[in-house]
Copies of this chain bind each other. A is one copy, B any other.
Amino acid sequence: MISFDLTDDQKHLHDRVRGFIQEKIIPLEEPGLPRQIDDAFRQELIALAKDAGLLSPHVPKAFGGMGLNHVDMSIAFMAAGYSLLGPVAMNCAAPDEGNMNLLYKVATDEQKERWLRPLAAGDARSCFAMTEPAPGAGSDPSLMQTTYRKDGNEFVISGRKWLITGAHGAGFAIIMARPESGEEGAATMFFADMDTAGIEIVRDVATVDRTFTGGHAEVEFKDVRVPESAILGEEGQGFRYAQVRLAPARLTHCMRWWGAAKRCHDIATDYARTRMAFGKSLMEHEGVGFLTADNEIDLHLSQLSIWHTAWTLDQGKRAGRESSLAKVACSEALDRVADRSQQILGGMGVSHDTVVAQIATEMRGFRIYDGPSEVHRWSLARRLARG
């Protein structure tokens, strides 16, 4: 039966996360030019969430998380995103959040103990090494250049990855590679400790965001040797697993950025209520009032889309169409919200006197990563073409 009622538990969850962000996290936001989050600061944040009992909401309780389903995650993540530091503190930021989800679904029990448990506890970080520089795998993963070959009991991986989020400081990587002499369309995921011989961080890739712990790097894999046990799941299933990871990962981006966009809207609205111009508050100008109304519309529809997709996942469905649709709709709507908020703030909107400028700038990637809008539109069209 169609319902939009939050249960008492959900309301309580919402209030707990909201209170945590307001009281513990927002005071840690520093004014001025945003700085790259490093591991020391991350550990400080993680400790706060652990104290508050809000670590790893998406991870099953058996592994130390809160064991939330997707709808409950949406409540927690949307509230967490209200500060860019929130998801870092609660250990539910990309790429770790998606990696934990992938490991829980695909890894063996032994692998879960070794790789998932420390991630879930916030003690370690991981990176997901899939994207490659041109002419390798980008939006089109079939172009993958990184290869592996069997050599005795080991696999030997060679290739170059790019824009690898969090590689600096990560404990391990999940590396996607295709067999050196293999058929097209087959790829395999491997675990590798980041200090394995042959793994080298070639350079930092400077980007417009600062909130991903460790930033983004270009990483070279030169004859990296891993044992048979390092295969995640089954050999040749890499692309399928990437999808397993991506559908919910897209959605959790929507959740976190929803919170950040809401923050922008609230800051802009507060400003518009008090800032005077031409004889009345900005808010009393239709030109500004309409911007806030459009923000309300975009936030509301994005929320409904997130809830619907989360609910679909909770029904045990893959939600490929729903998550593609939510990704396009939310990434574009929330970007508009941030942009309008900057506009309302005027000169302050491009300064770092509020977090709005940072959120607006960092959110730009959201329309690109985990499938740019164009890829998701095409995916929706292909589904429709099939009827």
Contacts and interface: CB of A to CB of B under 8 A. Distances in A.
Interface of A: 1-7, 10, 31-33, 71, 131, 134-135, 138-140, 142-143, 162-163, 205-209, 216, 269, 273-278, 281, 283-290, 292-294, 296-297, 300-301, 304-305, 307-308, 311-312, 325, 328-329, 342-343, 346-347, 349-353, 357, 360-361, 364-365, 367-369, 372-374, 376-378, 380-382, 384-385, 387
B209 A290 contact: no
A31 B278 CA distance: 42
B289 A381 contact: yes
Contacts of A328: 293, 297
A67 B277 CA distance: 38
A297 B357 contact: no
Contacts of A382: 289
Most buried by B among A329, A346, A352, A364: A346
Contacts of A296: 325, 380, 384
Contact of A307 (B2, B134, B329, B351): B2
Contacts of A308: 4, 300, 304
Nearest to A357: B208
Contacts of A274: 134
A131 B347 contact: yes
A162 B293 contact: no
A143 B10 CA distance: 47
Contact of A275 (B10, B138, B287): B138
25 contacts: A2-B3, A2-B4, A135-B276, A139-B277, A206-B353, A207-B350, A207-B357, A208-B352, A208-B357, A208-B361, A269-B384, A283-B385, A285-B374, A286-B287, A289-B384, A290-B381, A293-B378, A296-B380, A342-B364, A342-B368, A346-B368, A346-B372, A347-B368, A350-B368, A361-B361
Given A4-B2, A297-B329, A350 B365 contact: yes
A350 B364 contact: yes
A133 to B, nearest CB: 9
Given A277-B143, A304-B304, A311-B2, A347 B289 contact: no
A156 B373 CA distance: 51
B384 A368 contact: no
Given A329-B297, A384-B296, A378 B143 contact: no
Given A138-B277, A296-B380, A301-B305, 4 more contacts: A139-B278, A343-B368, A347-B365, A350-B364
A328 B138 CA distance: 32
A207 B351 CA distance: 4
A290 B351 CA distance: 26
A215 to B, nearest CB: 10
A10 B367 CA distance: 36
A291 to B, nearest CB: 8
A205 to B, nearest CB: 5
Contacts of A378: 286-287, 289-290, 293
Given A350-B365, A350-B368, A387-B273, A377 B290 contact: yes
Contacts of A71: 2
Given A369-B347, A381-B292, A277 B163 contact: no
Given A33-B206, A329-B297, A351-B205, A286 B284 contact: no
Contacts of A365: 347, 350
